[in-house]
Amino acid sequence: EIVLTQSPATLSVSPGERATLSCRASQNLNNFLAWYQKKPGQAPRLLIYDASTRATGIPARFSGSGSGTEFTLTVSSVQSEDFAVYFCQQFHTWPPGNFGQGTKLEIK
């Protein structure tokens, strides 16, 4: 089973700063990785798929990079609405297409 490890567990940044979130896979995923944003009481939202393709309607400040086993989600200038939990998900081996444990992006 592929294991996804997200780091850090919590990332504290000030609005306007850059945020860099990491997702490491236990096996080569090629570029079969997605990122989701989850806010309390809201539906999860797809941000990035195929490691670097922004989903429809996602602001350009969100970008994804990486391939193989190391992936990064970058928020170039964090806005107040970006404070949330972010999950990575692999779909190289699917099902189950498991998710990481999440990184909480919080206000510093």
Residues in the site for another protein, rule: CB under 8 A?
A: 4, 34, 36, 38, 41-46, 49, 55-56, 87, 89, 91, 94-102
Smallest separation (angstroms) from another protein to the CB of 48: 10
Smallest separation (angstroms) from another protein to the CB of 50: 8
Nearer of residues 22 and 55 to another protein, judged by Cβ: 55
Query: What Cα–Cα distance (Å) separates residue 4 from each residue in 17, 22, 56, 61, 80?
Result: 26, 10, 25, 24, 27
CA distance linking residue 38 with residue 45, whole number of Å = 6
Residue in 92, 108, 93, 85 with CA at minimum distance from that of residue 6: 85
Smallest separation (angstroms) from another protein to the CB of 13: 22
On whether the CB atoms of residues 6 and 98 are closer than 8 A, the answer is no
Nearer of residues 58 and 76 to another protein, judged by Cβ: 58
Nearer of residues 68 and 102 to another protein, judged by Cβ: 102
Q: Any idea of the CA torsion for 101, 7, 46, 90, to the nearest 10 degrees?
A: -70
Smallest separation (angstroms) from another protein to the CB of 10: 13
